[in-house]
Structure 1
Amino acid sequence: MKAIRIHEFGGPEVMKIEEIEIPVPKADEILVKMFASGINPADYVVRQGGNVILKPFLKLPLGLGLDGAGTVEETGSDVSRFKKGDKVYGLPNFLNGTYAEFIAAKANQFAIMPNNVSFNEAGAIPSCALMAWDGTNLGKVNAGQKMLIHGAAGGIGSLALQFAKAKGAYVIGTASRYNFDFLKQLGADEVIDYKDENFGGLLAAIDVVFDASPVFNEGARMMMAAALKDYGRFVSVQLPHAFSEEFLGILTRKNAEAKMIRRELDIAQSLSDIAKLIEAGKVSIVISKVYPMGEVAEAHTALETKHVRGKIVLEIRKENESRNEAD
């Protein structure tokens, strides 16, 4: 089978398509015939050599890709939730990568994908959706509350916005002016230009802040903390950047709390719940562009601009291959 792997850390050029053996699923795993993989900021972080959290775990050669969608090709002896041919979406085993024609992964990291989306759309969902889902849950977002989402036009932020609106929250999103109309179409009640260095002055009495931006900015973090009301909640995806004492001091004076998204989550149940929202038409998947496997370097280059609307997807194989097999 074909898989994209790296044998050295560096720029997009280090990614190579190789022929490797199809993996054999263990008792608690499924073999997934991959159709699409989402491309996430963590992918290029790994490709470049990792951050303070990932670096100790990176052993070359390795595959890239944090999520994807495909069909179940084979099930391990202990797996009863899936059967061959099921359309699924989910996460690979840690650092095994989804930029490949087949992957073996823990069955509890997958769920049946929404029945009203394509493989490319489903492949774009899991990683970002799980972080967005976790962020809104940790923030205890409820109807009538005012939520600020920083980086609302990105893969995580655009889904968090829709999850929060589905809960009945009033949502303010930060984005570039280019994305204002886009966020309004997704349901944002207000949009603020994050390039305004004093955007915090436009905010007040925020119940929940969700920092979903792929770019860490301590100044923005401080401004958003200042806008929280008493007993508010601040949730961040910026795992490599611990909360500073000054930041925590602001929250302490407000009796507010700060949390990082969790890395331990009931993945299968969360993906099933997310699928129900998508099937009900309450959440839409935004694809910026789809690239074939041979253009993975171009896909990474586009993502590294940090100005992508929604998600970039790597198409592993064509959707009609699934239809042809079913005929």
Structure 2
Amino acid sequence: MSRAVMYQAFGGPEVLELREVPEPHAGPGEVRVRVTAAGLNPMDWIIAAQPEVAARFGITVPSGFGSDLAGVIDEVGEGATGFAVGDRVHGSVLGRAIADYVVARPPADALWHTPQGLSDKLASTLAVAGLTAAAALAAIGPRPGDTVLIGGAAGGVGVFAVQLARLAGSTVIGTCSPGTFGFLRRLGAEPVAYGDGLADRVRELAPGGVTAATDLFGTETAQAALALGVMPERISTVAAGPDPRGGIRATGGLDAAPDALEQITGAIVAGELTVPIAAEFPVERIRDAVALQAGRHVHGKVVVTL
């Protein structure tokens, strides 16, 4: 037997249970990962809490939980290529990552080799947030001389977006709560409080204007960018759906470039990008971990260890 976080009905953190399950094994074309760490994302608890969202991802109850993971390949099925027993890996397997063992079928399930110098805890935070940030920025093309406004800059995706925009040579202004200003400044962004009057506050911070924007939370930042004169084609969103006018670019992790995650891991190993770990919980405290992450006030990433 092995362990997996499961839920039998949709709901909040209270529905999550660490249960004993039959130990899975790799079949033809599959590999098995002995999971050591899993990074949480908003989509994890939203899927578990909202049946209509789960349905869009093809998830029904009972279900496993979590998407991002890191660990070691310990079984390789017949015909599976690209991985060997003992390989350190990280990646994303929707709705079943937080378990002692996860069977994956690359490339349908996204797995990457974990480079030397990158811990499993950090690697487990990268797939969803890193690819989403990369796609959001690729849609607007930040470059030297740009001033980029990033909405939700202190969240799990935001910490990547801020640093990637800075690596592209742009000046970054990030929306957050006042208590997070110091955190964002340490990442290289100029913080600004979200809420009513956002455009006016940004105008004071950037009298020379804003040239591009990405909204990682909703539509407030995108609307402020339009009010500041940013061209719609240089505004992206990841949680607002398509723009009915066809100008603002809706995107997500699936749109990221094929080598986007390798570039991110390379930047981390080179010391050019940091991954703030806001909190770490053993899997036995999965409900506490999800409750913290779902509170929307986490500065960085939450990691569950197995």
Q: TM-score, normalised by structure 2?
A: 0.89
Q: Tell me the equivalent position of 2:198.
A: 199
Paired with 1:152 and 1:53, the residues of 2 have a C-alpha distance of: 26
Deviation at 1:89, TM superposition (A): 0.8
Deviations 1:84-122 (A, max 9, x none): 111111111x43x11101111233311122422321121
Paired with 1:56 and 1:71, the residues of 2 have a C-alpha distance of: 26
Counterparts in 2 of 1:258 and 1:56: CA distance versus 1, 3 Å: same
Q: Tell me the equivalent position of 2:284.
A: 294
Aligned with 2:174: secondary structure? strand
- The one-letter amino acid paired with 2:163 is Q
Aligned with 1:183: secondary structure? helix
Counterparts in 2 of 1:230 and 1:133: CA distance versus 1, 3 Å: closer
Q: CA RMSD in A?
A: 2.2
Q: TM-score, normalised by structure 1?
A: 0.84
Deviations 1:253-312 (A, max 9, x none): xxxx31222453468633222111111111111101001111111111111211000011
Paired with 1:53 and 1:206, the residues of 2 have a C-alpha distance of: 37
Deviation at 1:66, TM superposition (A): 1.3
Aligned with 2:303: secondary structure? strand
The residue correspondences of 1:49-64 to structure 2 (distance < 5 A) are 49-52=50-53, 54-55=55-56, 57-64=58-65
The residue correspondences of 1:1-327 to structure 2 (distance < 5 A) are 1-52=2-53, 54-55=55-56, 57-92=58-93, 94-95=94-95, 97-108=96-107, 109-188=110-189, 190-195=190-195, 197-203=196-202, 205-213=209-217, 216=218, 218-230=219-231, 232-239=233-240, 241-243=241-243, 245=244, 248=245, 257-262=247-252, 264-265=254-255, 269-316=259-306
Paired with 1:274 and 1:83, the residues of 2 have a C-alpha distance of: 23
Counterparts in 2 of 1:207 and 1:77: CA distance versus 1, 3 Å: farther
Deviation at 1:162, TM superposition (A): 0.7
Aligned 8 A contact 1:110 1:267 in 2: no
Deviations 1:198-246 (A, max 9, x none): 0111335322211112xx3x4544223222434651111105x443x5x
Counterparts in 2 of 1:262 and 1:21: CA distance versus 1, 3 Å: same
- The one-letter amino acid paired with 2:103 is A
Paired with 1:266 and 1:168, the residues of 2 have a C-alpha distance of: 20
Comparing 177-186 with 79-88, greater Cα deviation is found at 79-88
Q: Which runs of 5+ in 1 are unaligned?
A: 317-327
Q: Which runs of 5+ in 2 are unaligned?
A: 204-208
Paired with 1:51 and 1:110, the residues of 2 have a C-alpha distance of: 27
Paired with 2:100 and 2:141, the residues of 1 have a C-alpha distance of: 38
Aligned 8 A contact 1:45 1:51 in 2: no
Paired with 1:303 and 1:88, the residues of 2 have a C-alpha distance of: 24
Aligned with 1:155: secondary structure? coil
Paired with 1:59 and 1:262, the residues of 2 have a C-alpha distance of: 23
Paired with 1:265 and 1:33, the residues of 2 have a C-alpha distance of: 28
Deviation at 1:26, TM superposition (A): 4.2
Counterparts in 2 of 1:148 and 1:101: CA distance versus 1, 3 Å: same
- Count matched residues: 298
Percent identity over paired residues = 27
Counterparts in 2 of 1:292 and 1:231: CA distance versus 1, 3 Å: closer
Aligned 8 A contact 2:214 2:235 in 1: yes
Paired with 2:272 and 2:140, the residues of 1 have a C-alpha distance of: 20
Counterparts in 2 of 1:64 and 1:48: CA distance versus 1, 3 Å: same
Counterparts in 2 of 1:157 and 1:263: CA distance versus 1, 3 Å: closer
